Amino acid sequence: MPWTPNLSVGVKMIDDQHKMWFEKAEKLFDAGKNHQAKEYIGELLAFLDDYTKKHFADEERYMLSIHYPEYEAQKKAHTAFIAELAKLRNDFDTSGGSLLVILDANQMVVDWLTKHISNMDKKIGEFARTNH
């Protein structure tokens, strides 16, 4: 699942951070294919947790700087994703790395990356281009 130009938001900082996300997601899928997902997923979840918070903070700061009208909806989506990620990390820790949790992590990351970027983040770039 590589990052593709059609997922570009058109804001360099946001696009660069999204690319980093995709790289990590790719590593998770590779690890899964090589039966190493269990070792890797703890590290991935920790990375996603830290990186997501940083990325969302940067994205939110950018939205405020351009007076983006859908800021609240984005903030709400970000908060919900962080909560899902925390639940996933907890499930992973308590299950001792069950395969189901690993599959859930895969699904959640793929869904978030593709749906959120194409449905919500792209609008930030469109707004920035037409209003600034």
Calculate the alpha carbon distances from 65 to 16, 39, 76, 80 in Å: 19, 40, 18, 23
Name the nearest CA neighbour of 46 among 88, 78, 76: 88
CB 89 within 8 A of CB 49: yes
Helices within the chain (DSSP H only): 12-33, 37-65, 71-95, 99-111, 122-131
Rounded Cα–Cα distance for residues 37 and 101 (Å): 10
The CATH number, out of the four listed (1.20.120.50, 3.40.50.170, 2.130.10.10, 3.40.50.12280), of the domain defined by the range 8-131 = 1.20.120.50
pLDDT at 38: 67
Residue 51: pLDDT band (50, 70, 90) is: confident
Q: For 58-111, how does the pLDDT look when each residue is reduced to its tens digit (9 = 90+)?
A: 999 999 999 999 999 999 999 998 998 888 888 888 887 676 777 777 777 778
